[in-house]
Amino acid sequence: MTERDGPSYDLLEVQYLVRRGRVATTVEVQRTMTRDELSVADLIATLLRLTEVDFHKSMLSERDGRSMLDVYRPFLVKARIYLKFKLTPDRDRVLVLSFKKDTSR
């Protein structure tokens, strides 16, 4: 899997889309949010509070081999979060592919 040193997506652009309500999640993200007792409000707040310091890595999607995915590891209350997303091809929506409590050390 190919990784990059910096984000693939401009954080200001991502947060602009989030403020406009242009966010989508997968069914798997909804399941893990329920399991980890995280809400949509938590997701939105986390996306809006992201900073460069929270950036972890940018990686090539295993699914399609073309899309880059940005991974952030911010804190939400007292838990570290693992958040992975990409912009849709038309760059009109943030697609969240992972939003869960980070259990890695």
Q: Which pLDDT score is estimated for 7? A: 96
Q: Which pLDDT score is estimated for 41? A: 96
Residue with tokens 């399941």: 31
Distance CA 31, CA 16 (A): 26
Taking alpha carbons only, the member of 89, 53, 88, 91 closest to residue 72 is: 53
Taking alpha carbons only, the member of 27, 31, 3 closest to residue 95 is: 27
Contact between 98 and 84 under an 8 Å Cβ cutoff? The reply is yes
What is the DSSP secondary-structure string of the chain?
Answer: --EESS-SS-HHHHHHHHHTT-EEE-HHHHHHHHHTT--HHHHHHHHHH--GGGEEEEEE-TTTSS-EEEEE--EETTEEEEEEEEE-TTS--EEEEEEEE----
pLDDT tens for the chain, residues 1 to 105: 466 679 999 999 999 999 999 999 999 999 999 999 999 999 999 999 999 999 999 999 887 778 999 999 999 988 899 999 999 999 999 999 999 999 886
Record the pTM.
0.91
